[in-house]
């Protein structure tokens, strides 16, 4: 069973055990202890889908995907997260939800991209954004280094065994329902405690299957109101009590649109960059060390400024 330690008042690397916070991504080392000089690592989003809410259709060819991944790495991305199936929810904000894909269709989209990325960017960890164990296996065979399960093992717990077999870290995210049909109304007793409890159970399930390194993601925007999303963001440090690295993905989400506009008239995804950066800063100051984003360069620059201002990194002379 996981312990429930008190979160230290100062986020310093020494306060967090390296055996849990320094990830071995199949040979790629990724130190995810809070308070490191870089503040956090950036995970660049690479959707090879025609229907993702922000960048759908831009990178559906292998050539376009490799160009975009190379660009993100040059901008400072530490990880590339490849997704072949959109999780765009059904509802008033995005209309029809994403079309469900079979594992075979998803594999056909992601495998050639991951093979090409592994060849062109051999020093960069590649994450596969999937909850299907068959897709995870095919991606890991093609050269992926991490598995990012947005259902937190709810739908296919066997995905954990696949990650374990390849020695890959597993990201478990809190969400409700099936991707593409996420419910928008749910009553939480205490959204932070409830989400933390679900993530705790997912971590235990993953480790029971043999996964060595697990990352937790509160699932900003998945089955939560804007107020609940913001409460989770503010309480990022409470999730560190799970003693696992925390990933946040706020990039251009509908809650950001509601904050910058209103719930009934949110600003469009194209105008949500600065709101996304502000939310990211709050999460990182509270201990998140992986940031999943569409906008790599602005996020990297934000993190550099934040790290210097917070005293994590000295400004170089000259």
Q: Give catalytic residues, as residue numbers.
A: 253, 292
Q: Hey, what are 157's tokens?
A: 């717990």
| 3-class DSSP assignment, residue 46 | strand
Longest dimension (CA), the chain: 54
Q: CA–CA separation, 92 vs 265, rounded Å?
A: 11
User: Could you say which DSSP state residue 264 is in?
Assistant: S
Question: Cα 196 to chain center, whole Å?
Answer: 16
Is residue 16 within 8 Å of 288, Cβ to Cβ? Answer: no
Q: Which residue has the tokens 């259709």?
A: 57
Q: Is 249 exposed, middle or buried (0-12, 13-18, 19+ CB in 10 A)?
A: buried
Is residue 236 within 8 Å of 287, Cβ to Cβ? Answer: yes
| 3-class DSSP assignment, residue 216 | strand
If we measure between CA atoms, which residue out of 263, 245, 243, 246 comes closest to residue 254? 263
Q: CA–CA separation, 58 vs 50, rounded Å?
A: 8
Task: Report phi then psi at 55, rounded to 5.
Answer: -120, 20
Q: CA–CA separation, 282 vs 35, rounded Å?
A: 14
């Amino acid at each position: 069973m996981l312990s429930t330690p008190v979160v230290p008042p100062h986020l310093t690397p020494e306060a967090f055990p390296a055996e849990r916070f320094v990830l071995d991504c199949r040979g790629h080392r990724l130190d995810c202890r809070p308070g490191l000089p870089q503040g956090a690592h950036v995970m660049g989003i690479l959707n090879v889908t025609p229907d993702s809410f922000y960048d759908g259709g831009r990178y559906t060819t292998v050539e376009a995907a490799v160009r975009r991944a190379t660009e993100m790495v040059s901008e400072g991305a530490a990880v590339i997260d490849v997704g072949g199936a959109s999780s765009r929810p059904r509802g008033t904000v995005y209309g029809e939800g994403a079309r469900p894909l079979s594992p075979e269709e998803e594999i056909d989209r992601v495998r050639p991209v991951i093979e090409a990325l592994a060849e062109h960017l051999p020093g960069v960890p590649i994450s596969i954004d999937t909850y299907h164990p068959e897709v995870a296996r095919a991606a890991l065979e093609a050269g992926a280094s991490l598995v990012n399960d947005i259902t937190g093992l709810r739908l296919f717990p066997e995905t954990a065994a696949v990650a374990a077999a390849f020695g890959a870290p597993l990201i478990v995210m809190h969400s409700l329902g099936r991707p593409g049909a996420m419910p928008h109304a749910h009553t939480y007793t205490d959204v932070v405690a409830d989400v933390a409890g679900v993530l705790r159970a997912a971590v235990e399930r993953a480790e029971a299957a043999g996964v060595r390194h697990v990352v937790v993601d509160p699932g900003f925007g998945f089955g939560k109101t804007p107020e609940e999303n913001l409460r989770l963001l503010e309480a990022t440090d409470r999730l560190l009590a799970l003693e696992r690295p925390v990933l946040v993905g706020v990039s251009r989400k509908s809650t950001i649109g509601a904050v910058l506009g209103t719930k009934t008239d949110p600003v469009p995804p194209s105008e949500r960059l600065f709101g996304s950066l502000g939310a990211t800063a709050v999460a990182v100051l509270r201990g998140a060390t992986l940031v999943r984003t569409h906008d790599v360069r602005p996020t990297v620059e934000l993190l550099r400024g934040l790290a210097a201002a917070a005293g994590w990194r000295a400004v170089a002379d000259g």
